[in-house]
Amino acid sequence: MNDKRFDEVEHTADIAIRVWGHTLDELFANAAYGMACQLTDVEDVDPTEEMEIQLQAADVEMLLVDWLSELLYLGERENVVFVEFDISWVTSHSLRAIVRGGPIVEHQAHIKAVTFSELNLEWTADQYETNIVFDV
């Protein structure tokens, strides 16, 4: 059983990951987890802070970028990294989730932003897949 949630993809200047999910909520959770793994060693994070996130966007790719950008922004503001994602509702245009995180013990990358570069959400044989490029 392959329990990997994302792969790192080579990118000359920035950080890129490939993520997948059988459902949109799995894809969104895996993308957020993949991003958290770039920021720090998630095993070290004690998820004591909980927040609710609600978002709306014009299409599903924008919603994915908004979701990850929101996690980055809240993480920077609260000085935490989010590592657990309970997505109760996600469609092509809206999302509601409870996220949990904790302080970063050791920083790895600093992600400036989530880009649309290489973002192309596809339904393959049995799952959604896309690359995500982070500006660092």
Partner 1 sequence: MASKNDFQRIDEYTWELPKDYRGDMRVPVRLFVDEELFDAAFGDRSIEQLVNTATLPGIVKYAMALPDMHQGYGFPIGGVAGIDASSGVISPGGVGYDINCGVRLLASNLDWEEIEPFVDELMDALYQSCPSGLGGDGRVRVNKRELDNLLSDGASWALKQGLARQKDVEHTEEHGRLHGADPSKVSQRAKERGLSQVGSLGSGNHFLELDVVRAVYEPEAADAFGLREGQIVVQIHCGSRGFGHQVCDDYVKKLQSAVQKYDIRLPNRQLVCAPIDSPEGQAYYGAMACAVNYAFVNRQVLAMGAREAFERVLAGNVRDFDLRQIYDVAHNIAKFEDHQVNGHSARLCIHRKGATRCFPPGHEAVPADYRQVGQPVLVPGSMGTASYVLVGRQRAMELTFGSSCHGAGRTMSRTAARKKVWGHDLRDALEQEGIAVRASSMKGLAEEAPLAYKDVSHVVETVHGLGIAHKVARLEPLGVIKG
Binding stretches for partner 1 (CB under 8 A): 8, 10-15, 58, 61-62, 65-66, 69, 73, 76, 79, 107-110, 112-119, 133, 135-136
Nearer to partner 1, 11 or 18 (CB): 11
d(CA 88, CA 86): 6
Cβ 119 to partner 1 shortest distance, Å? 7
Neighbours of 38 (CB within 10 A): 19
Whether the CB-CB separation of 73 and 56 falls below 8 Å is answered with no
Q: Specify burial of residue 71 (Cβ count, 10 A radius: 0-12, 13-18, 19+).
A: buried
Residue type present at position 39: L
Minimum CB separation from partner 1 for residue 9, in Å? 9
| CB 48, min distance to partner 1, A | 19
Looking at the Cβ atoms of 99 and 104, the one nearer to partner 1 is: 104
